[in-house]
Structure 1
Amino acid sequence: MNKKISLIGVPMDLGQMRRGVDMGPSVIRYAGVVERLENLGYEVEDRGDLRIGRPQRYDVKDKDNLKDLDVVVEANQKLADEVVDAVSGGAFPLILGGDHSIAIGSLAGVAKDRKNLGVIWYDAHGDLNTGETSPSGNIHGMPLSASIGLGHDQLTGIGGFSPKVKPENVVIIGARSLDEGERKLIKDKGIRVYTMHEIDRLGMSKVMEEAAAHVTNGTDGVHLSLDLDALDPHDAPGVGTPVMGGPTYRETHLAMEILAEKNIITSAEFVEVNPILDVKNQTAEAAVALIGSLFGEKLL
């Protein structure tokens, strides 16, 4: 793992309806992410938080069923530029959200100089909607579809190129809430998905072994996008769209430990921590512990 880390906060809450997730980067920092990484021997450059614009009114849909499109696009373009700058300086970009719409900018930045990026999408949801298929118009349900080149031109075109990743290089882990349009897209594009059914039957160890093999087959880097709502709400209550029956805190630690052992992750983001919905900062502390495991923290 790259020993130089650029930490980028993205206080975005415009990709979804429940306010508060914009405080995610702050509470993750408060939970000690910088100290955790420095204790593991990493050089951490905290770039602070991006400045996110604010619409006059929240959750306003445009004609294409997309809420707050312009400000979401603006924020993601800023993030893409920030990530490109971090990568050009030889650093591992570690992005803290914010809602999951920020993954559009993350992937635009990290894919800029990679010809064949692999992606592990650790999430209760597929995030494969477009304006045509989304029941809500919330862009935090669209970052993966936009990154594979589907959806509104302003979303797919962030960073000046599209697609950022090929569907065959994506693995979704922990899915248990998929909309009808997402299910169809997964089948049409042949996207590899490990639902909770597969995790229960195979075990997390087997799932991660298979997922790691899949995303490293012919790729030149792997991005991890981890939504804290992937975890069961018992272990991560502070998220906006909780779904019962997810991986446990311990199973998710194992997933991160396996990725650390394989040393395949070249960029990462941790998103959707909402302190307003949390209990004693439990979800932010879980995020920091998982980041520690991803970067090689061990008990012995």
Structure 2
Amino acid sequence: MGNQAVSLIGAPTDIGAGHRGASMGPEALRVANLQARLKARGIDVVDRGNLQGPLNPWEPPREGYRHLSAVVDWNRAVYEAIYGELSLGRLPVMLGGDHCLAIGSITAVARHCREHHKKLRVLWLDAHADFNTAQITPSGNIHGMPVACLCGMGPEELTTLGGSKPATAPDVFRQIGIRSVDEGEKRLVREARVSIFDMRQIDESGMKRVMEEALEGVDADTHLHVSFDVDFLDPAIAPGVGTTVRGGPNYREAQLCMEMIADTGRLASLDIVELNPAFDKRNQTAKLAVDLVESLFGKSTLIR
């Protein structure tokens, strides 16, 4: 995988989150040497710096959404930047920011796939299903809504970001590590038939079997997008997130997950989101995230 060209794009905002601090995520990943560690793997890595967008006004929700117009502005910036990198034949890595930004990145990826007749597969590594809507959201925080928005359920400004609605069908998603789903959300993900591998399934089948199923059908015509919410990881090893949920994958399970994705050779775009240095201890969560991203780009113990 040494001939890859990777572009890092910072999106420093916590506009969709319920806690402040994810806006500092991109810098924490840089401090943990993401660029240098990938370069050491023989990858051509360019850091494009940070996108610009509105400051977080920290207001209550209106009509079921918090900060909708600012969320739209940030996602439009992400959409254009990610689409631009894909058009250059580069692999974009969006450094979040909160998970609402995946609306922009995956909408761009989906457009790229349509234009190049590629199948899209999205691995959504997360403690949460992120399938809330204005009608059922407990908080109005849009970082709990990106998958629903991408599937066409949400405000027009977000569901039509790429010109056509929906950006993706629910069947492109494989959600892994899920262990917190709001009551209303449970019905929605069931009706949409989103493929969810929750922690019970990981416990019963093991990470290896789960990843084999999640990656089934990925081939040379597949664009594999990984949306890596750092709260996917157990908070015992990754305290630096705003929405911790106990009982996530441990270090070894997470490494296996990343290595099996790398083994496909199909990784073509990546989000790293919800890293919140304000809750972290000595940047340990950022260092762990960088460690796992190295594995995603093919670092393994032995030559296999």
What TM-score do the two structures reach when normalised by structure 2?
0.95
Q: Which residue of 2 aligns with 1:221?
A: 223
Residue 21 of structure 1 pairs with residue 22 of structure 2 = yes
SS at match of 2:244: coil
2 CA distance for matches of 1:17 and 1:188? 27
Separation in structure 1 between the aligned mates of residue 106 and residue 172 of structure 2, nearest angstrom: 13
Conserved 8 A contact 2:6-2:44? yes
Question: Counterparts in 2 of 1:164-175, with a 5 A limit?
Answer: 164-175=167-178
Report the secondary structure of 1:159's partner residue. Answer: coil
Which amino acid is the alignment partner of residue 169 of structure 2? Answer: K
Where do 5+ consecutive residues of structure 2 fail to align?
Answer: none
Determine the C-alpha separation between the residues in 2 that align with 1:295 and 1:155.
30
The amino acid that maps onto 1:249 is: Y
Distance 1:261 1:220 in 2: 14
For residue 217 of structure 1, report the CA deviation from its aligned partner. Answer: 7.4
CA contact (8 A) 2:220 2:266 kept: no
RMSD: 1.4
Q: Which moved more, 1:154-163 or 1:200-209?
A: 154-163
1:32-71 matched pairs, under 5 angstroms: 32-55=33-56, 57-63=57-63, 65-71=64-70
How do residues 72-83 of structure 1 correspond to structure 2 at under 5 angstroms?
72-83=71-82
SS in 1 for 2:289: helix
Q: CA deviation at 1:212?
A: 0.4
Residues 58-99 of structure 1: per-residue CA shift (max 9 Å, x gap): 133222x10000011001001100011101111001111110
Aligned length: 297
* Cα separation, 1, equivalents of 2:38 and 2:108: 22
C-alpha displacement at 1:162, in angstroms? 1.9
Q: 1: CA distance between counterparts of 2:149 and 2:271?
A: 17
**Structure 1 segments (4+ residues) deviating >6 Å:** none
Query: Match for 1:185: what amino acid?
Result: L
Q: Specify the alignment match of 1:200 in structure 2.
A: 203
Matches within 5 A, 1:98-113: 98-113=97-112
Q: Which of 207, 213, 238 is matched with 2:240 structurally?
A: 238
Preserved CA contact (<8 Å) 2:122 2:172: yes
Identical columns (%)? 43
Q: Which whole-Å CA distance do the structure 2 matches of 1:203 and 1:59 have between them?
A: 42
Q: What are structure 1's unaligned runs of at least 5 residues?
A: none
Give the aligned residue type for 2:138: P
Tell me how far apart the structure 1 counterparts of residues 246 and 110 of structure 2 sit (CA, whole Å). 33
Q: Report the TM-score when normalising by structure 1.
A: 0.96
Letter in 2 for 1:101: C
1:219–1:142: structure 2 CA closer, same or farther, 3 Å change rule? farther
Q: Quick check: 1:118–1:219 contact (8 Å CA) kept in 2?
A: no
